[in-house]
Structure 1
């Protein structure tokens, strides 16, 4: 009997030791998992909800609620102009569509600059900023940068005409920069900035202030306008530029010598006498 009791006691102690070992191993694994989860949470990037498009969209297509969906986006990498609420995209009381201005690929973030206002089409008016106006400039293959202009490009506008000569009296041919860094919003009747094929335009439409509209209208009526394409990464502002004919021909116009005279009357005769001009 004592033998059986001792055997049972030994087995019990062995099982208890095994149970403690297994429990310790389980608790250690659980603690390791818990520590790993805490570390992952500490390194997790905060996210917010933004809207992306469900499919590829091209210029002129209508964007509806069926074309978008919300996703989680890293909070520190959200592009400017994204939408975070459906009510921002399709406000109450407005038409439930927008028109695409710039091509978008599937899962690309929906941004304000890539679509029109609710219910608007993709016309030129949808691209104008507040207080700005559209003005058309006549161009040809030479003045229009050989057809390499696209909506969204920036150009410097030069005027060529007759101006007062700085070298004496009269007028001379002159070319001057009148508007630097003007943005194009349409080329002919095309406002698609994703247009890649060069076209020989007859008109380009620029975004300018009302005062600049008056300046361009006057310049176009009194001379010829030419455009110079500004580089996409060029953020410099052009200084005042004015060139007359003498700068590239090397010719100079001499000032006429000033002649001073006095007139005296002798009866019915008027006598003109040359004198030294006063300083």
Structure 2
């Protein structure tokens, strides 16, 4: 019985070793065949990501592999050696699954400064939920920057002007990946600008309130802007006279509502019409008229 068990175990071990040998031979043959195909079709082996990699993700042998790539269309900076991916390199920009891994997208440290091109600057400006387009501005978006301030000497009149156009957002608060598109409460936005525009942003932050306007990333039209003042708003051209502090003059005497009756014709020479102390009215009886005083206290 024991001899038979030993024989069974030995046969199982042999079959196991044979299976491992055949598997290794198969995969080695596939790898060799791909290399031969690459040589025959003028292909090169390029490192690509096997999964989506976010900003700061470490690159290892588990998430990177080599694939055949046409030699005439290999991207600049492509990596052809997997031995360098030992967990020391990280992605400084998001890399999609199947996308070639380029030297410009990886670094030994995951810092935002690695994303800043030469002669460019990253400037952070304060924004709120309204100024930041309700939280829908994400890294990678393109925006215009508005500044609203009071016109000096304009009696509280305000003006809004576009100070920067077609500016790329590289970070929102502490988030530097454009993969997360959920709206969130904003406090800071980091923009990619040149040195002169960085100075403009620094001055505008101290001079007025900044607002971001999200624009289509494919729209590169710039320059067709104008300033908007309070007078451009509905009713903005209305002006109210200020109240006078000078004492008002005495009101003019009111004219009586009645009309004074015409004076009675003079009677015989040397005689005068009777004098009345109040309003009168002319009453005719037939063809004869007589003037009579009106009693204002009567009902």
**TM-score bracket, shorter-length normalisation:** 0.5 to 0.7
1:24-58 deviation line (CA, Å, top 9, x unaligned): xxxxxxxxxxxxxxxxxxxx975344221244433
**Structure 2 match to 1:68:** 64
In 2, Cα distance between the equivalents of 1:158 and 1:213?
A: 14
1:190-223 deviation line (CA, Å, top 9, x unaligned): 1111112111111111111221121111111111
In 2, Cα distance between the equivalents of 1:124 and 1:84?
A: 22
Which of the numbers 101, 118, 132 marks the counterpart of 1:110?
101
Map of 1:180-191 to 2, 5 A cutoff? 180-191=165-176
**Structure 1 match to 2:257:** none
**Structure 2 match to 1:157:** 145
Which of the numbers 45, 49, 71 marks the counterpart of 1:53?
49
In 1, Cα distance between the equivalents of 2:224 and 2:41?
A: 46
User: Please, which runs of 5 or more residues in structure 2 have no aligned partner?
Assistant: 1-39, 240-299
In 2, Cα distance between the equivalents of 1:63 and 1:211?
A: 37
In 2, Cα distance between the equivalents of 1:56 and 1:252?
A: 56
The 1:86–1:229 alpha-carbon spacing in structure 2 relative to 1, beyond 3 Å, is same
Give the CA RMSD over aligned residues. 3.3
Q: Which structure: greater helix fraction?
A: 1
In the TM superposition, residue 163 of structure 1 has moved relative to its aligned partner by 3.1
TM-score where L is the length of structure 2: 0.57
The 1:70–1:249 alpha-carbon spacing in structure 2 relative to 1, beyond 3 Å, is same
Number of equivalent positions:
200
TM-score where L is the length of structure 1: 0.61
In the TM superposition, residue 249 of structure 1 has moved relative to its aligned partner by 3.2
Which of the numbers 189, 193, 198 marks the counterpart of 1:213?
198
- Partner secondary structure for residue 130 of structure 2: coil
The 1:245–1:112 alpha-carbon spacing in structure 2 relative to 1, beyond 3 Å, is farther
In 2, Cα distance between the equivalents of 1:142 and 1:68?
A: 41
In the TM superposition, residue 111 of structure 1 has moved relative to its aligned partner by 3.4
**Structure 1 match to 2:90:** 98
Query: Which is higher, the Rg of structure 1 or of structure 2?
Result: 2
- Partner secondary structure for residue 151 of structure 2: strand
Map of 1:171-186 to 2, 5 A cutoff? 172-186=157-171
- Partner secondary structure for residue 106 of structure 2: coil
**Structure 1 match to 2:224:** 239
